[in-house]
Amino acid sequence: MADNENIIDKIARHPRIWAAAALVVSLWCLISGALGLLVRNECSFEDMENAPAYSRVSGNITEVDEESSFEMRNTFCRFLPTGVEYFSIAHTKDGQLIFLRTDKNWYPDKDGKTKIKGAVKRFGKADKRDITNGLAIEVSVYADLIADRLYVLRIAGGLLIAGEVLLGAWLVKKRSGETVRGYKAATIVFCAIPFAAAALGLHLLGYA
């Protein structure tokens, strides 16, 4: 094995394994993101607890308890910060209490008739426990008002990884002739894409 072997040479030794692993991740991102955007099982506020996967809820809320709004700071392996989630507690016209995941700067309309649209998501066991202990409220689901943005980012991540596979295939094919125009620039891009994909993945992990 040559000591000066570069990353393209290493990939070229097992191209199918590398490409298959990357394509599996890419397809998962693309398919799950597309399903999240395209499949919309509409449900009411009252049916959120029993809503199937990829359910959507929409309607008017009359009041938001801003004093009870809270943040969830997420980490990867307990040390690496991955993002902050912002939650608000709202009331429907029928008096039902629902949780909303929102952007940091989201505010309800001042007329008391805020229209919301979001995906129905479930809290994890640890989050449910923390909410119960902190707010003395039993809750298992919430309306995710930022779901579509996260699905789009997931698709973007899948496209990024797919582009990495195509670029890697081209570099492997041309590796014997590094005088090919654009080869060095393409190699730099190829090495940079995994960092961008990892950063995007950690961001999405914080909202999983």
Cα dist. 80→50, 76, 89, 202, 205 in Å?
Answer: 34, 5, 28, 9, 11
pLDDT of amino acid 1: 46
Nearest to 121 by CA among 104, 103, 102, 144: 144
- State how beta strands 55-76 and 41-43 pair: parallel
**Inter-residue contact 184 to 178 (CB < 8 Å):** yes
Nearest to 204 by CA among 159, 154, 170, 145: 154
**Helices 183-205, 147-174: crossing angle, 10 deg rounding:** 150
Amino acid identity of 44?
Answer: S
The C-alpha atoms of residue 9 and residue 190 are separated, in whole angstroms, by 13
Q: Which residues contact 193 (CB under 8 A, 6 or more apart)?
A: 160, 161, 163, 164, 167
* Average confidence (pLDDT) per 10 residues, the chain, 208 residues: 62 77 93 93 91 92 84 78 87 89 85 86 88 85 94 95 90 71 84 89 81
> Long-range contacts: 167-170, Cβ < 8 Å, 24+?
167/193, 168/8, 168/11, 168/15, 168/18, 168/19, 168/22, 169/15, 169/19
Q: Where are the domains of the chain?
A: 9-34+150-205, 40-146
Quote the pTM value.
Answer: 0.84
Rg (CA), the chain: 22
In this structure, CATH architecture of domain 40-146: Beta Barrel (2.40)
